[in-house]
Structure 1
Amino acid sequence: MPDSTATDAANPPADLTDPADLVGSADPADPGNGTRGSDFARLARRITQAGLLERRPGHYAVRSVLVGAAFAGGWAAFLTIGDSWYQLAVAVLLAAVFAQIGLLAHDLAHRQVFRSRRSSEIAGMLAGNLAIGMSYGWWMDKHTRHHANPNHEDHDPDVSPDFLLWSREQAAQSRGLARFIGRRQAYLFFPLLTLEGFNLHLSSVRALARPVVKRRGVEASLLAAHAILYVGALFTVLSPGKAVAFLLLHQAVFGVYLGCTFAPNHKGMPTLRGEDKLDFLRRQVLTSRNVRGGRMLDAVLGGLNYQIEHHLFPSMPMPNLRRAQPIVRAYCEELGVDYLESGIVDSYAQALRHLHDVGAPLRARAGAPG
């Protein structure tokens, strides 16, 4: 993607520890890079005047009670049903509940729920580490870097070449398993998502050895407690075969749910490399895609279907994103900045077409049909 000549291009501070510290702050006079009067600053004034950065404690109180009740109800059903293959239905139910807890932890990390960093961290570790076995500190560090430079291949960990390749440049440099998967990655995308739950747990444990997790002792204790309670419950109530089946199905559906929540937002959108620079507003808007839908979709995706608004204002409470959308879309039209919004099916189709296109040179080189 070509460089932009926009005047306020700058990266956010390198020592960010919380996504809410990103430039989408509540201060309309400071877009985060010291340039007053920038395109983003003018948009931020409109958003602030509309009151859309104010906390929504009632929404989060109700949402937390509902998700907590679903979590308790799911495990109550698990204990009531006992050693039965009907437990596979409970596994699917709890996978959806785990994903909803993950989405709530996402909002906590962005300080959408509490203004206090300490309150956000305590609630985030209880939701992330203890409830679903995902390190809050590791995920927050990773997600902060994503927000700072979305779809930048050198800085965004979500588009780093691991098993999947996100650009033809990555494909040209790929080796081994990544190259093999890259040839057929559009077809393998959803099957690979079944491993994402396991990947989150493994990455969380591995992160405990790195300084990105600041409260390693607390996080390690909570992760260990989750593992003991989770695995202990499965193998105490179920026979070994059913316990393994429950675990595999539960983690697979959990991974697919989370992957399907985040995949439509940036995959298939322009990527940046090297010294490519965009001002903050364009960096967030041009690399993001909104997903069209009603309030049910808002609940299922945790509001991340308003990805453009979320990236511009990370600390904006989830229920305000819907109200911010017409303001942001109209402003982008004023500036002539492309604002992409797709239906849910089309968003996945765009992402899969992009993955298939990235793998085309690898298929041609291997002599496979194009």
Structure 2
Amino acid sequence: MSSITARQSANPDRPSASVRYVSSFTELSRQVKETDLLDRRYGWYWSRIVGVVVAFAAVWVAVVIVGDSWWQLVVAGVLAVISAQIGFLGHDGAHRQIFRSWQWNEWTSRVLSGLFLGMSYGWWDKKHSMHHAAPNQEGIDPDIASGAVAFTPDLARARHGAGAAFARRQGWLFFPLLTLEGLNLQLRSVQTVTSRQPLQQRWVEASLIGVRLAVYPIALLLLLPPGKAAAFFGLHMVLFGVLLGGSFAPNHKGMPLVPRDMKVDFLRRQVLMSRNIVGGPLVDFAMGGLNQQIEHHLFPSMPRPNLRRVQPLVRAHCAKHGVTYTQKTLWQSYGLVIRYLNQVGIGARDPFECPLVRRYRE
């Protein structure tokens, strides 16, 4: 009989740890429901949806006005910022944060992602939902699955030759790789809509993505000389990848890993594996609200502007129940990501072991 089972047998009236933790989240959820923080923020979201569409159109007016000039690279940088903001709105729609109707949320996300970014809503939504269900859990969370970067010690140890050499330096190479993230998202989307894997609204998504991927380069070549068109396209995609990927990376990379077969209660699963990024309005804007990652994971359908407002409730609840609540600055978080990936790459054993695993091993 395990020590945990023995303690429960000795005191049968005491609820198990898992029951206490579930009850703990129920308590927090009840507190939040008594506020207005789960109510839709239509004015906030409509102003941003209209704003990004108008800004997107204004960029193309600027391309025409600026003409044959290297100042077009400034315009490309502005387009990258707008594209990232569109991506954040697509993310919010996928989480049902914008409207009460799931159809409105889904179609808003599908149109914004496909027509403006060339991304498949269906592919990304499935992948992101799996991440939310089991953040940083090996073999389940697709965000730490095998790819160019080895996010877990087991993946790093399985590499040989050039792959192993890359892994030993992957911490320093991770952020340069983000420059390709925009193209990678588009490539994965095209692969999805042209494959045989199940996908709702396949022809709609294929049409939206096809229009975006065809019209964008054609418009650049019609409006700019080939060299400047290529520079515009390249800078836009590089900055877009860094802005979008750099907003997701600091939130979980370098946080504890959970073994595939381990069961963790919802509250601890979401809080212990997530990291908030401290900062003011500029950080909120640059990260699309993802800097409030703990609150977002606990209440994924909560409108983005309410995440900062619910933070005091969540922090107080975690302090009351002894659940570690992690916050770092953006630069501290990036430093942790680099250190973690380098440690994984050189074969360090469980560099960021889950505290729950360590506790029960003891």
Question: Same-fold call, TM > 0.5?
Answer: yes
- Is 1:211 the counterpart of 2:222? The answer is no
How far is 1:317 from its partner?
0.2
Query: Could you say which residue in structure 2 is the equivalent of 1:186?
Result: 171
**Could you say what secondary structure the match of 1:357 adopts?**
helix
Query: Could you say which residue in structure 2 is the equivalent of 1:41?
Result: 26
Letter in 1 for 2:136: N
CA distance in 1, matches of 2:90, 2:45: 11
Query: Could you say which residue in structure 1 is the equivalent of 2:296?
Result: 310
- Aligned partners of 2:21 and 2:265 also within 8 Å: no
How far is 1:173 from its partner?
1.5
CA distance in 2, matches of 1:177, 1:6: 45
CA distance in 2, matches of 1:56, 1:103: 15
- Aligned partners of 1:95 and 1:254 also within 8 Å: yes
How far is 1:296 from its partner?
2.2
- Aligned partners of 2:243 and 2:286 also within 8 Å: no
CA distance in 2, matches of 1:259, 1:352: 14
How far is 1:210 from its partner?
4.1
How far is 1:343 from its partner?
1.0
Letter in 1 for 2:285: A
When structure 1 is superposed on structure 2, of 210-219 and 52-61 the one drifting more is 210-219
> Residues 39-118 of structure 1 correspond to what in structure 2 (within 5 A)?
39-118=24-103
Query: Could you say which residue in structure 2 is the equivalent of 1:331?
Result: 317
User: Aligned pair count?
Assistant: 333
CA distance in 1, matches of 2:48, 2:178: 26
Larger radius of gyration: 2
- Aligned partners of 1:284 and 1:308 also within 8 Å: yes
How far is 1:229 from its partner?
1.3
- Is 1:290 the counterpart of 2:301? The answer is no
Query: Could you say which residue in structure 2 is the equivalent of 1:31?
Result: none
How far is 1:258 from its partner?
0.6
Distance 1:228 1:184, change over 3 A: same
Query: Could you say which residue in structure 2 is the equivalent of 1:200?
Result: 185
Cα RMSD after superposing both structures? 1.8
CA offset digits 1:167-218 (Å, max 9, x no partner): 2222112246543321101111111010001000000001111434211100
Structure 2: gaps (5+ residues):
5-15, 349-362
CA distance in 1, matches of 2:126, 2:265: 22
**Could you say what secondary structure the match of 2:18 adopts?**
coil
Distance 1:98 1:41, change over 3 A: same
Distance 1:93 1:177, change over 3 A: farther
CA distance in 1, matches of 2:162, 2:83: 30
Letter in 2 for 1:95: A
Query: Could you say which residue in structure 2 is the equivalent of 1:7?
Result: 18
User: Percent of aligned positions with the same letter in both sequences?
Assistant: 50
CA distance in 2, matches of 1:118, 1:253: 31
Query: Could you say which residue in structure 2 is the equivalent of 1:11?
Result: none
TM-score by length of 1: 0.86
**Could you say what secondary structure the match of 2:216 adopts?**
helix
**Could you say what secondary structure the match of 1:91 adopts?**
helix
How far is 1:40 from its partner?
1.3
- Aligned partners of 2:21 and 2:267 also within 8 Å: no
Out of 129, 145, 150, the residue aligned to residue 165 of structure 1 is 150
Structure 1: gaps (5+ residues):
9-34, 363-370
Structure having the larger proportion of residues in helix: 2
When structure 1 is superposed on structure 2, of 134-143 and 171-180 the one drifting more is 171-180
Query: Could you say which residue in structure 1 is the equivalent of 2:343?
Result: 357
How far is 1:6 from its partner?
4.2
CA offset digits 1:305-360 (Å, max 9, x no partner): 00000000000000100011010010001110000011111111111111111112
- Is 1:260 the counterpart of 2:271? The answer is no
CA distance in 2, matches of 1:192, 1:75: 28
**Could you say what secondary structure the match of 2:115 adopts?**
helix
- Aligned partners of 1:298 and 1:305 also within 8 Å: yes
- Aligned partners of 2:41 and 2:98 also within 8 Å: yes
- Aligned partners of 1:186 and 1:356 also within 8 Å: yes
- Aligned partners of 1:137 and 1:213 also within 8 Å: yes
- Is 1:134 the counterpart of 2:83? The answer is no
When structure 1 is superposed on structure 2, of 175-184 and 47-56 the one drifting more is 175-184
Distance 1:283 1:172, change over 3 A: same
How far is 1:41 from its partner?
1.0
- Aligned partners of 1:92 and 1:249 also within 8 Å: yes
- Aligned partners of 2:156 and 2:345 also within 8 Å: yes
TM-score by length of 2: 0.88
